[in-house]
Homo-oligomer: A and B are copies of this chain.
Amino acid sequence: MIDLQDLRRAIRPETVLITIMHANNELGAVQPLEEIGRIAKEADVYFHTDAVQSAGKIPIDVTTLQIDLLSISGHKLYAPKGIGALYVRGGTRLRQLLYGGHHQRGFRPGTENVAGIVGLGKAAEIARKALAEDTQRISALRDKLQQGLLQGVPHSRVNAGAAPRTPNTTNLVFPGVEGEALLIALDLKGLACSTGAACSSGAVEPSHVLTAIGLPPEEARASLRFSLGRHTTAADIDFALNVVPAAVAQLRELSPTYHKEATAHS
């Protein structure tokens, strides 16, 4: 979570924009947009939020939150890949990044992806209707998964578990395990997880997010992100609770250092 005092201090006379991710993609942690919006308004600075991970998962009201600019991505809310949207509050002064034609008021020249646009609109409509029910059902499943993993995997911990979070994400550290190795072991059993963000796939550095919340590199590398969705079932959770503890135990057996560490911790 960002420190609001830090944010206030970071605003300089020449500051024109505050941009803060609504929900973190790796942890699901939700930033206090209402307070940030108030700070931005007081400082007369535009406020942009990346709501890619939160749109369709938690309610967002650009008026209440005093948001001037908000980005969403279609495929995160069951629209097709290849389409997104930028909400722009009337009167916000912007300059385009791409030049060429007059499409979309000159801000995004090029023939519009009509099918994608319609898909995004429909997906947003469905997400809005399903929001309350999805939230309740998915967060119950997520909590069941998280509890089961904490119980089934000795020494495991939830990353950012105390922060307000989106209903669909949990991120756990399994000390003594290499996240990439666990990811592959689970994938072979049919369970898809993530060690970080798709944006950083192929990177060998530990997650900058996990490092920022204070995890030492070996714990950042021992963390795994579980994401649920509208189509996740109770049976999927049972399956995960069946395969993850076994896979962690197996990898720990092979670890030259884990047993000593575990003994030292307990």
- Give chain A's interface residues, CB within 8 Å of chain B: 73, 75, 80-84, 97-98, 100-103, 109-116, 197-203
B100–A199 contact, CB under 8 A? yes
Q: A97-B97, A97-B98, A98-B97 in contact; A80/B115 too (CB < 8 A)?
A: yes
Write out the residue numbers on chain B whose beta carbons fall within 8 Å of the beta carbon of A202.
102
Write out the residue numbers on chain B whose beta carbons fall within 8 Å of the beta carbon of A110.
73, 84
CB of A25, distance to nearest CB on chain B (Å): 11
List the B residue with the shortest CB-CB distance to A75: B111
CB of A49, distance to nearest CB on chain B (Å): 15
CB of A101, distance to nearest CB on chain B (Å): 3
Partner of A82, one of B116, B198, B203: B116
Known: A82-B112, A82-B116. 12 other contacts (CB 8 A): A73-B111, A81-B111, A81-B112, A81-B114, A82-B111, A82-B114, A82-B115, A84-B110, A101-B200, A102-B199, A103-B199, A111-B198
Write out the residue numbers on chain B whose beta carbons fall within 8 Å of the beta carbon of A100.
199
Most B-side CB within 10 Å, residue of A82, A83, A97: A82
List the B residue with the shortest CB-CB distance to A109: B199
CA distance A84 to B103 in the complex (A): 16
CB of A140, distance to nearest CB on chain B (Å): 28
CB of A100, distance to nearest CB on chain B (Å): 7
List the B residue with the shortest CB-CB distance to A83: B82
